[in-house]
């Protein structure tokens, strides 16, 4: 799966299964000062790329399949990132905890959070998709779950796109 990461912030997710899921493996060479922000309960883990040392401040940061994270591209160029690995088969489960999490689909497909990705929800839950505006910033598109109607508006997720999910109760996706 190929992702194009423009200057500024992007919310992405590893869409394929592989034996090595460290940040250093997936992004061995990025622009100096690039940063990854991975949300863990109550805080962000941050790793910064140093071109002089040719490495990340936290090279072992786990970015396994289904994990959403922010990538900040400090350059003026679009960065091409390629994820390689296996497409998972069978019954797949990505746990959505109560509270806030950043997640990505376990199957890299383009489509609706209601009908293609089938993200479960309860009234009041929120999903935020982040769109880089190609100017170094961006904006969230917020979708709220309504009983009997699903997610409104129905956000489209692309392969490798992450999302910010806020749930009142844990559910399996």
Cβ pair 23, 56 in contact under 8 A = yes
The 10s digit of each residue's pLDDT in 1-27 is 999 999 999 999 999 999 999 999 999
115-153 pLDDT tens trace = 999 999 999 999 999 988 877 678 999 999 999 999 999
- pLDDT surpassing 80 at residue 154: yes
- pLDDT at 3 (0 to 100): 94
Reported pTM = 0.94
Chain centroid to CA 116: 17
* Per-residue pLDDT band at 41 (split at 50, 70, 90): confident
Task: Check residue 124 and give its pLDDT.
Answer: 97
From residue 94, how far is each of 15, 87, 101, 171, 173 by CA, in Å?
12, 14, 11, 9, 5
Can you say whether the dihedral through the CA atoms of 78, 83, 84, 87 is positive or negative? negative
For the cut 80, the answer to whether the pLDDT of residue 93 exceeds it is yes
Q: What share of the chain has pLDDT > 90, as a percent? A: 94
Mean pLDDT, rounded, of the chain: 95
């Amino acid at each position: 799966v190929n992702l194009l990461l423009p200057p500024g912030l992007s919310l992405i997710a590893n869409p394929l299964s592989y034996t090595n899921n460290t940040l250093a493996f997936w992004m061995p060479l990025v622009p100096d000062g690039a940063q990854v922000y991975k949300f863990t309960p109550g805080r962000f883990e941050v790793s910064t790329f140093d071109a002089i040392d040719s490495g990340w401040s936290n090279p072992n940061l786990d970015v396994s399949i289904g994990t959403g994270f922010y990538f900040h591209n400090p350059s003026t160029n679009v960065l091409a990132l390629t994820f390689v690995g296996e497409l998972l088969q069978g019954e797949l489960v990505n746990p959505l905890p109560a509270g806030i999490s950043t997640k990505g689909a376990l199957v890299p497909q383009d489509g609706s959070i209601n009908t293609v990705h089938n993200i479960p929800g309860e009234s009041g839950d929120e999903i935020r998709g982040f769109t880089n505006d190609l100017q170094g910033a961006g904006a969230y598109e917020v979708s709220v779950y309504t009983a009997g109607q699903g997610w409104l508006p129905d956000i489209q997720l692309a392969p490798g796109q992450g999302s910010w999910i806020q749930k009142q109760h844990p559910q399996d996706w």
